[in-house]
Structure formats: structure tokens, C-alpha cells
Amino acid sequence: MAILENKVAIVTGAGSGIGRAIALAYAKEGAKLIVSDINEEGGVETVNQIKKLNGAAIFFKADSSSIEDNRQLVEKAVQEYGGLHIACNNAGIGGPMGATGEYPIDGWNKVIGINLNGVFYGMHFQLQAMIKSGGGSIVNVASILGTVGTRFSPAYVAAKHGVVGLTKAAALEYANQGIRVNSIGPGYILTPLLTNNLDDATLEQIKSLHPIGRLGKSEEVAELALWLSSDKASFVTGSYYPVDGGYLAQ
């Protein structure tokens, strides 16, 4: 039997990269998917790929920084499939670069709105639905920058640190209600977020920061999310798991 058989799962930011890989991994293990993204074309493509695997999925366009979109997303999952058991809050942006003293205020607000507020809004409604469904698992996609800093990305670093802390707080609050909440910390992963914004020389420099000698693959992150979402991780909650090629070990 597939390890997510008869489970209903939401994945945000599932129109490409890590989110798409996680959605596909869930589908291969029997979950019914609500694929969410602000990018409708990418989200529909993810649904099409799931259906080619004979999986069940629908697309729901949502802006993760919108309270109402998050509420409707959870309602859609319950309406379509009868409950909610798994949620992966993955949607995120890199945002502008700049030193803290010169960082654009609108850029700060956008990054915090999507990368941190969006996770809180998602969990706010997901947790209520999971209680009614008898329990579940939430995986929040943080970053290696959820535990360490880097120059010129203050909003991103602050948001991802916040995701790690929010995960721990929620895990403690809902552990006795059958809901596990964990976060994962990808290193630099070869996704459109990276390749569309950085030149080859910069990518090579970033690659050198990882002791394993390469950038990560979305599928490698998805394997960790899949495990945390399944009953194989039944005694795991409130934890933060890097998947970073050794980056944080230095």
C-alpha cells in the first residue's frame, strides 16, 4: 500500500521547483492533491503531470500572502476530497537584494507577506481542518537561512527564521491533537528561483559553498518532505531538518 493512500494534501507554490517535486512525490504515494500557486500555467502543468501518473489532483490559484485565499484553499480541499491530512507550505520568493539600512520597505513587506505571513495564514486554516479530519502533518519549507544569516537578504533571512520558530510553537500546541508540524531547510537548490535570477558565475560560486560539491535537486528535498508527511515519521514533530549538502555543518 502506498504510504499516503487515502490522504488529502495541499502543496503551495507547487507550480514549479521544489513545490512541484513535492506534489509529484505525494501523488506517487497515493495522496489526493490540491496544487496551489499564483502561477496558473505552472500549477496546471503540475496537475497534468500528476494525472499522467494516474494520480488525483486539482489546481487552485492562490496568493499565499492573502488571508482569504488561504481560507478558500483549505475549504476547497475539504469540499473536493472530504478532509485535509497533509499540508506543505512551500510558496516563497527571494525578494530584492540590499543591506538592511538601504533595503526597500515595499520589498520587505512583500517577502514577509509571502514567506512568513503566508505560512501562518496557511497553518491557521489547515490546523482547523486537520483537527476535524482526525490529525495530520504539516511541513513548512524554511531554508538553511532559517538558522544562519547571509548578507543583503534581511527580509528572506528574517522570514525563514520566523518559519522555523512558528513551526516549533505550533508543534507544541497541537502535538496532543494528532498533528505533527516540522520544517525543512533546503540549501541552494537548482530551481527556477535560482536559475532565472543568477548568472552562471554566481551559480558556480554558490555551488562551492556546499561541501558535497553541487547544488541540490528538487526531488531530494521532496523525499524529505514525503517522509515527514507520512506515518514513517510518526514520532517526529517540532523539528527542523536541513537538506543542504553539508552547508550548515561548516
Catalytic positions, please? 156
CA 82 to CA 99: how far, in whole Å?
47
C-alpha cell at 162: 520566523
CA 220 to CA 197: how far, in whole Å?
22
**Which helix (H) or strand (E) segment is 87 a member of?**
strand 86-89
Single-letter residue type at 153: S
φ, ψ (nearest 5 deg) of residue 10: -110, 135
Q: Which residues is 86 bridged to in the sheet?
A: 9, 137
**Which helix (H) or strand (E) segment is 56 a member of?**
strand 56-61
CA distances 120 to 21, 60, 68, 164, 166, Å, are 22, 19, 13, 11, 8
Cα 33–Cα 77–Cα 61 angle in degrees, nearest 5: 75
Nearest alpha-carbon partner for 249 in 144, 172, 171: 144
Strand boundaries in 123-248, DSSP class E: 136-141, 179-186, 240-243
